[in-house]
Amino acid sequence: MVELRESAAEAVSQTPAKKKRSFRKWRGLLYITPWLIGFFVFQFGPLLASFGYSFTNYNMMSAPKFVGLKNYIQLFTADPEFVKSLTATLTYACISVPAKLIFALFVAYILNFKLKGVNFYRTVYYMPSILGGSIAISALWKLLFMKEGIINGLLSAINIGPVDWLGTPGTAMIVICLLQVWQFGSSMVLFLAALKQIPAELYEAAEIDGGSKVKQFFKITLPMITPIVFFNLVMQSINAFQDFTAAFIITNGGPLKSTYLIGMKLYDEGFRNFKMGYACAISWVLFAIILLFTLLVFRSSDAWVYYEDGGDF
């Protein structure tokens, strides 16, 4: 009886209700329209365009000319500068990212002891992260590590140096990596949040079993925070692969192109030489490296990332 009445009511009011329902169905789309437009115009479109341009010669004066794979072939066979920038970028990422994460984890681990004044330290450590990307800090860094700079001044007090930090390939790389490591604050905050989530019972159980602190760290702490390690590793690497400002200001890619990161090569080809097609090819090699790296990390994550809920990432 009730059913009958309901279906009758539905029959009577069907058209407006249906209209309303179909509007409801699309309402969400309406709200995300700005993003949809932005995505296609400023992200997806440019992504495709950049792929297309990478097979052309384009100097912005005349129309793009299709050249097939020539840009890519030239990159790897006839452009030693590019190969150098590739090695520099990989070196930079392979040193700075692990160093930063290990340091961040180390400090977060200590901050997680129930100490007084944790907030104060957290604020201090976080400071470099909010400013590190700015040109002001790059300038400061350059000044600190100059031959006559304060770092050498401090080192001379313990009879080291003077080291020509920015004039020697190896140390120049160390200097820009150090700037990266110095900005460990945001990774640290993430680690700290993850560490706080580890249930205390796990440690208590280990304590009863007589496991040492070191053992506890590797058997409990580290496995429990692998999701955050994973996240940090991916995001920090993506950023490191495209870094620009520090190398541009501090070393200008030198000495001997040892800190000539791919971001700088891209800038030089695209915005100094206006070889747009060539620059796009560079950006796609960079993209391929990032994709490959991310894929590898994702693939390997089954083996080392532990999800408590069984894990749907």
Partner 1 sequence: MEKHIVAGSLKRNRQLRKILSYCVLTCVGIIMIYPFIWMFFGSFKTNAEIFGSQNLLPNSFSFDAFVKGWNGVGQYNFTDFFKNSIMIVVPVVFFTLVSCSLVAYGFARFRFPMKKLLFGLMISTLMLPDAVIIIPRYLLFNKLGWLNTYKPFIVPAMFACYPFFIFMLVQFLRGIPRELDEAAEIDGCGSFRLFVRILLPLMKPALFSAGLFQFMWTWNDFFNPLIYINSVKKFPLALGLRISLDTSSTVAWDQVMAMSLVSILPVVLLFFFAQKYFVEGIATSGLKG
Which residue, among 182, 181, 179, has the nearest Cα to 247 in the 3D structure? Answer: 179
Task: Identify which range of 11-19, 39-47, 73-81, 168-176 contacts partner 1 by CB under 8 A.
Answer: 39-47
Helix, coil or strand: residue 66: strand
- By C-beta, is 31 or 78 nearer to partner 1? 31
Task: Identify which range of 13-21, 103-111, 158-166, 168-176 contacts partner 1 by CB under 8 A.
Answer: 103-111
Q: Cα separation of 76 and 141, whole Å?
A: 33
The residues in 69-98 that bind partner 1, with binding defined as CB under 8 A, are: none
- By C-beta, is 153 or 170 nearer to partner 1? 153
Q: Confirm or reject binding of residue 4 to partner 1 (CB under 8 A).
A: no
- Name the minimum Å distance from CB 1 to partner 1: 27
Contacts (Cβ under 8 Å, ≥6 apart) of 250: 138, 141, 142, 145, 166, 175, 176, 179, 259
The residues in 128-167 that bind partner 1, with binding defined as CB under 8 A, are: 128-137, 139-141, 143-144, 146, 148-150, 153-154, 157
Contacts (Cβ under 8 Å, ≥6 apart) of 240: 92, 93, 96, 97, 180
Q: Confirm or reject binding of residue 263 to partner 1 (CB under 8 A).
A: yes
Residues 232 and 297 sit within 8 Å (Cβ to Cβ): no
**Binder among 244, 254, 255, 297 for partner 1 (CB under 8 A):** 244
The residues in 209-238 that bind partner 1, with binding defined as CB under 8 A, are: 228, 231, 234-236, 238
**Binder among 88, 93, 111, 174 for partner 1 (CB under 8 A):** 111
Using CB under 8 A as the criterion, what x/- string covers residues 166-205 for binding partner 1? ----------------xx-xxx-xx--x------------
Number of residues engaging partner 1 in binding (CB under 8 A): 93
**Binder among 57, 74, 126, 223 for partner 1 (CB under 8 A):** 126
Which residue, among 264, 263, 272, 281, has the nearest Cα to 64 in the 3D structure? Answer: 281
- By C-beta, is 109 or 220 nearer to partner 1? 109
Contacts (Cβ under 8 Å, ≥6 apart) of 208: none
Residues 258 and 173 sit within 8 Å (Cβ to Cβ): yes
Q: Cα separation of 163 and 152, whole Å?
A: 7
